[in-house]
Structure 1
Amino acid sequence: MTRLLAIDTTGDFCSLALKDGDSVYESHQSMPRQHARQILPLLEQLFAESGWARTSLDAVVYGRGPGSFTGIRIAAGIAQGVALGADCGVIPVSTLQTLAMEASHSNPEIKTLWVALDARMRELYVAQYQVDQQFPWLQGNEALLKPDQLPDAPDDETFATTHLVGNGWQTEYGFSDAWARFVTRQPPLLMLPRATWGAELALALLKQDASVKVSPEHALPVYLRDKVTWDNKPKVGE
């Protein structure tokens, strides 16, 4: 068994979960711009509900981004503080891959996932995943893109097994005609990162490579917007 605390504050939801095997305690609440004030009381409430001691944790999972700059910093800071107190490691997980993990378990027919979150400033955080045995494998890199920088939309051959995930597909930032048609034909799953699925992703990653758990001082945020020119940005699906 691996006892985890998972934290995601990268978007409007303050999402917390305690997981140990089949035992899960969760708080997932929409509270835009209130994370800093509310997260510690919610965390105390969750530990009280579970009856678990913080020192019993084996690792702290946190949404490392991309997402809200402030939210990412809050998740990383809380994860670091709790892990130091519990004398355990941290496991950073991608917010985009967390969404892909949840989506990949929602429909066994899914083979390809395009995840997009609204990054504001008429840009999207985007990643493509191939699903194998309900695990989403990143294709290429996560990227910060304007809609006109997206790769070609999926063709008719892959339509049935390709799904869209995230609120980025709901924006009106000016998609190409091909992408606009695809979004209309294949309505996106409009979910936001949930800590419970961050914990599930962390467990799957641990099975693949134990080194994903690192010491608390490595609880760092991941920003994509600090890449200031397109030439330096990773491309999706390559």
Structure 2
Amino acid sequence: MSLYLLALDASSSACSTALLRQDNGHSECVARFEMTPRGHTRRLLPMVDDVLADAQVTTSQLDAIAFGRGPGAFTGLRIAAGAAQGLAFGLNRPLLGISTLEALALQGHRRYHLRHVVTALDARMGEVYVATWHCLKDTIRRQDEEAVMAPDKVILPDDETDWVGVGSGFTLWEQFNTPLQAAMTHHLSDLEPRAEEMVWLAARDYAAGLGQAAHAVQPVYLRNQVAWKKPA
């Protein structure tokens, strides 16, 4: 049995797409990743065309579509959601929304063999999008709810001390509280969410029957206020 799954993401300063092909126990992933601040609208769909062409797969062969549903940059999330919803609706295929924070945790686990991961993305307005994860053999287990808060309010679970931070939120390192800094062995602030990890998470969710109709899958912002307002 074969599976063809496309993922796309524009939740950060990066833009990425990935095509996963699984057939008779063999898996192949073709991916594109570019740092494209303010260029998501221009680059996202051409990158979709690129991965489909490289994999020699047509849109009609796709079994499902996935996208980075957030949290992340408001405009980028809307761009990716709109593109993914349009593809899924036009092809009559199920759509899956994948957590950007979970994708970051999987990236840290696969690239650096991290076990206990704190993912944080810069949410602007002096806050971060954050969650904690335990990772083992490509299995990602969330330890708390995804949230948006000031860095000094982030509290780690008590069961481990070798936490590693992943994501742009750790450019605000000096603003995190002292207990968190003491519990964290190091942090990697240069990693961005990627469709390459999202497509594997989407394959997991697709196998679990979690695909939905295109209109039913929406971005996750974690905050209602999306623009900073100067106090009166």
TM-score by length of 2: 0.86
Aligned-pair RMSD on alpha carbons? 2.2
Moved over 4 A (4+): none
What's the offset of the Cα at 1:36?
1.0
Match of 1:36 among 26, 41, 44: 41
Give CA-to-partner distance per residue, 1:77-125, whole Å, 9 cap, x none. 10111112222111110000011122222355x4322111111111000
CA distance, structure 2, for counterparts of residue 167 and residue 187 of structure 1 = 10
Query: Which structure 2 residues correspond to residues 199-210 of structure 1 after superposition, within 5 A?
Result: 199-207=199-207, 209-210=208-209
Is the Cα–Cα contact under 8 Å of residues 56 and 86 in structure 1 kept in the other structure?
no
Q: Report whether the alignment pairs 1:141 with 2:142.
A: no
Is the Cα–Cα contact under 8 Å of residues 55 and 85 in structure 1 kept in the other structure?
no
* AA matched with 2:13: D
* AA matched with 2:151: P
Q: Report whether the alignment pairs 1:190 with 2:190.
A: yes
* AA matched with 1:150: V
Query: Which structure 2 residues correspond to residues 113-192 of structure 1 after superposition, within 5 A?
Result: 113-152=117-156, 158-160=160-162, 162-172=163-173, 174-183=175-184, 185-188=185-188, 190-192=190-192
Identity among equivalent positions (%) equals 33
SS in structure 2 at match of 1:52: coil
* Cross-structure match for 2:230: none
Matched positions, count = 221
* Cross-structure match for 1:24: 29
CA distance, structure 2, for counterparts of residue 102 and residue 217 of structure 1 = 28
The range that moved more, 44-53 or 213-222, is: 44-53
What's the offset of the Cα at 1:173?
6.0
Q: Report whether the alignment pairs 1:83 with 2:88.
A: yes
* Cross-structure match for 2:97: 92
TM-score by length of 1: 0.84
Is the Cα–Cα contact under 8 Å of residues 127 and 143 in structure 1 kept in the other structure?
yes
Runs (5+) with no aligned partner, structure 2: 227-232
What's the offset of the Cα at 1:181?
3.9
Runs (5+) with no aligned partner, structure 1: 229-238
SS in structure 2 at match of 1:203: helix
Structure number with the higher strand fraction is 2
